[in-house]
Structure 1
Amino acid sequence: MLEDVGQRERGLSAPKSGRSQAFGSLPILRAHQAIKIMESESGRSEKLAGAASIWHNRCMSIQVINLRKLLKLMFLDSKALTAALRDDIREERDRDRGLVSGGGDFYGPFWRDAKDHVFANGDLQSLTKDRIESNDRRKNIYPELEKGFLLWWNERRRWTNAPFEPIDAPKTRYKIKDLDLTVKIDCVLAVQDGSGDDHYVYPYWFPEPPIGDEAGRLGLWVLCQALPQVSPSELRILDVIRGRTMALDRIPLKGDEIQTFSNHYRRISQRRQQLRDEYDR
């Protein structure tokens, strides 16, 4: 039997009979498999390209951001800011590609326990110990949070033995159109004391940087704008680890907050865009 010319050119012999004919179909099967693999790889490449395109064109993560995180970024030194923004960009890109899932809420469990402590629904020291035992990642930060919070709270408790009652805690998003920015306000500790006075405490729980007067003033300004239903005199920002609160009676507004805030945000936004462009090259 003569070899098929096409098969000879590919280095294959013509099928002979029986079992040989069955195996003679393998080149065809392999060809189909190769096509399917190519199509699969092509589809995967298109998906990755699509994800990259979405990542490139979507809004930056700092355009919709919690107030506490924004204050942190605004007052980090240059080196720490660059590192924080690089981490943020990598996490955003991996998330858009479906490569990693969310890391969970690290600080939220502590803050829920702190609220329980305020309303006598639990003991913060015991609750913190339980949290650390359930997750070893908390062993460094949670004791510092506990110490700072109790420093602040025990000082406040010295003024009254009356129980503190929970009231509606505001939660909102404040949009600043000129900056294309949405600031999220959440996790407010809202209490009424024994005298019937209301207090709204916004937590800042990051180890670094500490909240200074300028950061506190800008944060209070945002809270006043975002929560017009709350009297400014009732607003506080609590630097949890340091057990320090900021209020307008101690850090009054100057009238230049919108400009100062905008300058800080634009600096962060521009630096993030520079770093993001490096990933696109």
Structure 2
Amino acid sequence: SKGIQEALALRLSQIAWEDGIRGAIMRCVTHHTFSQRSCRMMGGQPVALLLGSIPRWVSYDHDDPAEREPLSTLLQWVPVHPAEGTHALVRPQGMAWMERAVEGIQESRTTPPADALLPEKSELCATWSGSRRLAYVHVTRVGRDLVSRLRETCRWLLGGHIAHISVFLPGDVPHVASVHSELQKMGLFPGGFIPGYLRGRRDAVIYQALAWSDLNPERIKVLRGDSEDILSSVLAARAAVARQPDLELPRTGSVSAKRTA
């Protein structure tokens, strides 16, 4: 029930505060806005949107099987003990809303300085769930071969019938922003960021690939405000990928969105 969920949320917040936790990332489904409202009550700040990250055969709230489709998830960061000092974070093209999101997480970010000499080899790790048709790629070191490594990995995953890929890139490496157009050509588009997600408490910038053909953006519901900006930006980024004439990964269709007060 609503009362039990609110009581659990308050208790979790208390435990996080007592244990000195920096913050927590909450995953909110977007076929309704209840979980988003609960996160907002806890001080949650929207930081990313993963389009179609839950496969269509997962049932929520007794929905009609005939109307099931991939569900999207809005990631919200709930700050508890914000990190001190200033950290570096790149802003991918078209993600201007990230400036306001940084203010919302109550931490300071700056544009990272120019890249020093990059190592030749990137380091990354891919994990996946065949039953849910999703995969995660964590890049722990950015090298000069970043684009080719991601191309090889994403092709392999999609060839194995993976339908959604989330790529987590170090947010303090300027090279990540400089290869935006190459990632876009591959079929990857930005989705936001997660504070302190990678090893060494480095921010992760998220890119994603989506192979679902039946995602209906009209059914993505978000609250007004920052969530609207994220939704608009991510859908626009996906549409830009779909317009690529020589797209290397499966094509995606044109999109629009529904906003909910």
State the TM-score, normalized to the length of structure 1. 0.24
Q: Which has the higher contact order (CA 8 A, sep 6+)?
A: 2
More helix by share: 1
